[in-house]
Structure 1
Amino acid sequence: MAIDTAAALSAAPSSTVTELTPNRPSLSDLVEATGTTFILALFVTLSGKPCAKLVPAQAVTQLESDGVGFAGYAAGMMGQDPKDPDLVAMPDVTSFTPIPFVQPGLALVHCDPHVEGRPWPFAPRVILRETLRRAADLGFEVKVGAEIEYFLVDKDDAGRLTTADSSDTKRQPCYDARDVTRMYDHLTEISTAMNALGWGNYANDHEDANGQFEQNFDYDDAMVTADRVITARYLLSVIAERRGMQATFMPKPFTDRTGSGMHLHLSLWTADGSAFPDDTDAKGLGLSHTAYGFIAGILEHACALQGIIAPTVNSYKRTGATTTSSGATWSPRFATYGGNDRTHYLRVPDSNRVELRGGDGSANPYLAATAAIAAGLDGVERALDPGTPGSGESPSDSLPMTLLHAMDSLASDSVLTAALDIVGSGVADYFMTRKREEFFAWHNTVSEWEIDHYLTAF
């Protein structure tokens, strides 16, 4: 899909570069104070690919003032053609993260891509920032927690995907102390890194499938959490590789096992605190009208939302699963909500938050937060009611069966497409076009399943 660069730039917000204040240290100050020798200036594409240049500390002043340039088309899904001007990644000083446990003297800073001096509206961080501004205009700050599930895998001599820990073979391995202990070095290295960064890692566990793990950290501002998801995926990948393993966030790498989700815990806050609790709630969950409106908005937009929080062909092998070797899929198939019940699309574990369980490990955290917040705020503004907790699971509540169905739902949802588009930038159409191409590229590929079922069937 051809993008009109001039039109996209005219739609972009005026600036997203961090404004320095007398009380906020510069990037140069932080580099000097932490003994940083190299900086990864990082941004992600719409597909979630982390892209970076390695900048020496001696060039930090140039990085801070001028950014660092990238060929946007070469980076991937960034709304550019080869003829377009450079993406210039401008660092957000507030995201500066020393990561000496990866390499001594290394730090990372998340960046907002600009084109010709203006924030590029196809940049996921830029998109989320606009949604958070809209929430602020309504009087809300958005807090988000993210659960990152992943597999540790390897390949055998025949090239088949295997569990990295060959002893991890139990039918129900979830929480097994022995399986966790065998991965002690990996899990504790990640936990120690998270806590050194001030993320508040509070649990590390073996999940439902053989080879599957989750490491939790505290919730925070939506942008902070999205940055941390990207940083965590990077850390998990490089640290696993050191031990001869591969960390994968692919939603469902094994047909017979539970898939990997990326559950989002969402809440709205005002100057008085969380806007979600209400002791007078007649529905019995202890929630306010604001919280129920937020829930109803997410449920109303759930089918379109899936196209953003479950954005790959493989995503629908997870949500479409009917059983796994452990006995449960732990992934929703219907847009329903309820209390502390993990079978629902939206779980309410307590009165301070709602847990969105439809997303998976392939989701771009900036876009996922953008879409979930936009859907929820639409419900708040329209004072929608989600109905009785636990109701639903009729065909009308069914989530999309494939990525193509999800794109069709997204195309008809003006609220979520508007959240992706910054004043008509064309991001939504570009995203949907690329995802439909992804679906048909898979659909046109002959699989082993087809060979097994049809080769001698006729």
Structure 2
Amino acid sequence: MTIAHWDWRNSPGQLVAPQNLDVEKAKQFLAQHQVRYVLAQFVDIYGVAKSKAVPVDHLDDIITDGVGFAGGGVFGMRLAPHEAEYMLVGDLSTLSLIPWAPGYARVMGTGAVSGRPHPIDTRNILKTQVARLAERGWILNTGIEPEFSLLERTADGSVVPFDSTDVLQKPAYDYRGLSRVRVFLERVTESLQALGIDVYQIDHEDGNGQYEINFKYADALTSADQIILFKMAAAEIAHELGAICSFMPKPKSSTTGNGMHIHCSIADASGRNLFHDPSDNRGMGLSQLAYHFVAGVLKHAAPLTALLAPSVNSYKRLVVGRTASGTTWAPVFVAYGDNNRTAMVRIPYGRIEIRTGDSGMNPYLAQAAIIAAGLDGIDRKLDPGEPHNINFYALTPDEISRRNIETLPQSLHEAIEALSRCELMRNALGADFIDEFVGLKREEWIDYHRHVSDWEVKRYLNFF
């Protein structure tokens, strides 16, 4: 079914609710925009948006008692069918319209069980880590860069780029590849802009059918909320156009994977970037605080990877050596360097970029884990050592080993076991969460190994 495109520019007033709304003003805002339903929304342990549609006349219910969900019906909630419901109590500061779905708005909030914040609600987990920063007068600002593939399924069931002419061997930044899907890219961009999300560039990435839309940094919680909005917009607009917008980390072995790099800096209450120090004698513009933060990230690289690259498929992207696609922007080397895209942490000057993560991550969990690792580095005054401004991919494994450079886990199993042993993450993110996440991911690993792939059939059917 084709849905008519809503031109948000003809809508009255702004599409994001003003801050410091009370319920009555929220109702006025929704009435002004002819909203009929409000999506009470949270994300599950995988980072997938879950919602109930609430008629707008019942907005009060969302804000007071909350909207009930049977926790046993959602993966990772650690709630049995006989236990109290998971209640989402809406936060009006997150209220916004949904430009691609006229008549709808959404609100996120605090997930609670029996009147207490639920410790496995992933947004609550991030809020807890953000509160640790706030105790010191700090804010973590993040700029998250989502890559995705725009695909379609053919009559024979295969999946190919939505633009059938997107066949260049190296299509990065190709004008035609960008122009021929401009309807999709424009609609997504305009939807985000209508919500006050400042999109500043759009490009065709290294793989056929692969794109990236970048928007301005924000505090960590807002960044995560915006990533979920972006994924919702991209998926639904693609569906209306007959396409598939995929955030699968590695949808095809012969093309580059979909990363989600995270730029980080800590600011004080005035907005001053505490990671920036122009007197840095290494010339990277980093403060001592930033170096300690980097050291914490590198120290906990293995368990951190389980949350930044959380699927079996993620490790088809995070590989040592040359990939089947011929190039990779997913470094596996536990090191940092000045603008070095082959290291786990790149320093663009005055901030840091963590390049491990992929577009399958839960942005709340990923950022919570980054805060936990970074604060450990700060509290213990860890030293990241000297930067490595070399192309790691040009080195042999022996040359990398001689430099005492470790590599990231090479499978979900390896990453999950590192997470299960990490006392820092257990204490920071909560034992209940770690046990639930690790348990689900161990099951995923077992299911993966029970599956017989096409590769195995082709290789072994007549081999023995």
User: How far apart in 1 are the matches of 2:320 and 2:106?
Assistant: 38
2:95 pairs with 1:89: no
Judge conservation of contact 1:339–1:349 (CA < 8 Å) in 2: yes
User: How far apart in 1 are the matches of 2:318 and 2:380?
Assistant: 29
User: How far apart in 2 are the matches of 1:283 and 1:22?
Assistant: 42
2:357 pairs with 1:348: no
User: How far apart in 2 are the matches of 1:35 and 1:297?
Assistant: 48
Which residue of 100, 103, 119 maps to 2:101?
Answer: 103
Judge conservation of contact 1:28–1:61 (CA < 8 Å) in 2: no
Judge conservation of contact 1:322–1:329 (CA < 8 Å) in 2: no
Which residue of 437, 446, 452 maps to 1:446?
Answer: 452
User: How far apart in 2 are the matches of 1:239 and 1:115?
Assistant: 34
Q: Identical aligned pairs, as a percentage?
A: 39
Where in structure 2 are there 5+ consecutive unaligned residues? 1-17, 393-399
Deviation at 1:49, TM superposition (A): 1.8
Aligned residues: 433
Deviation at 1:162, TM superposition (A): 1.3
Deviation at 1:126, TM superposition (A): 0.5
Deviates more, 1:286-295 or 1:135-144: 135-144
Judge conservation of contact 1:186–1:239 (CA < 8 Å) in 2: yes
Give the partner amino acid of 1:25: D
SS in 2 for 1:202: strand
Deviation at 1:33, TM superposition (A): 4.3
SS in 1 for 2:102: coil
2:164 pairs with 1:166: yes
Deviation at 1:326, TM superposition (A): 5.7
Where in structure 1 are there 5+ consecutive unaligned residues? 1-20
In the other structure, the counterpart of 1:338 is: 337
Deviation at 1:324, TM superposition (A): 4.9
Deviation at 1:23, TM superposition (A): 4.8
Provide runs of 4+ in structure 1 moved above 4 Å. Answer: none
SS in 1 for 2:187: helix
Matches for 1:37-436 after TM superposition, within 5 Å: 37-99=36-98, 101-272=99-270, 273-320=272-319, 322-324=321-323, 327-351=326-350, 353-390=351-388, 393-394=400-401, 397-421=406-430, 424=431, 426-436=432-442
User: How far apart in 2 are the matches of 1:320 and 1:161?
Assistant: 23
Deviation at 1:187, TM superposition (A): 0.4
Deviation at 1:199, TM superposition (A): 0.8
Deviation at 1:34, TM superposition (A): 3.7
Deviation at 1:419, TM superposition (A): 2.1
User: How far apart in 2 are the matches of 1:345 and 1:137?
Assistant: 29
User: How far apart in 1 are the matches of 2:81 and 2:20?
Assistant: 41
Judge conservation of contact 2:146–2:259 (CA < 8 Å) in 1: yes
Judge conservation of contact 2:20–2:93 (CA < 8 Å) in 1: no
SS in 1 for 2:348: strand
User: How far apart in 2 are the matches of 1:146 and 1:331?
Assistant: 15
Deviation at 1:122, TM superposition (A): 0.7
State TM-score, norm by structure 1. 0.91
Deviation at 1:169, TM superposition (A): 0.5
Judge conservation of contact 1:121–1:127 (CA < 8 Å) in 2: yes
Judge conservation of contact 1:127–1:367 (CA < 8 Å) in 2: yes
SS in 2 for 1:138: coil
Judge conservation of contact 2:331–2:355 (CA < 8 Å) in 1: yes
2:22 pairs with 1:25: yes
Deviates more, 1:29-38 or 1:102-111: 29-38
Judge conservation of contact 1:152–1:163 (CA < 8 Å) in 2: yes
Judge conservation of contact 1:321–1:329 (CA < 8 Å) in 2: no
User: How far apart in 1 are the matches of 2:324 and 2:243?
Assistant: 23
Give the partner amino acid of 1:411: S
Judge conservation of contact 1:263–1:360 (CA < 8 Å) in 2: yes
SS in 1 for 2:263: strand
Deviation at 1:178, TM superposition (A): 0.8
Deviation at 1:341, TM superposition (A): 2.0
Deviation at 1:60, TM superposition (A): 1.0
Deviation at 1:396, TM superposition (A): 5.1
How big is each residue's C-alpha offset from its partner over 1:261-288, in whole Å with a ceiling of 9 and x where there is no partner? 1111111111351101112212221111
User: How far apart in 1 are the matches of 2:79 and 2:439?
Assistant: 14
SS in 1 for 2:317: helix
User: How far apart in 2 are the matches of 1:289 and 1:390?
Assistant: 18
RMSD across aligned positions (CA): 1.7
SS in 1 for 2:61: helix
In the other structure, the counterpart of 2:396 is: none
Give the partner amino acid of 2:88: A
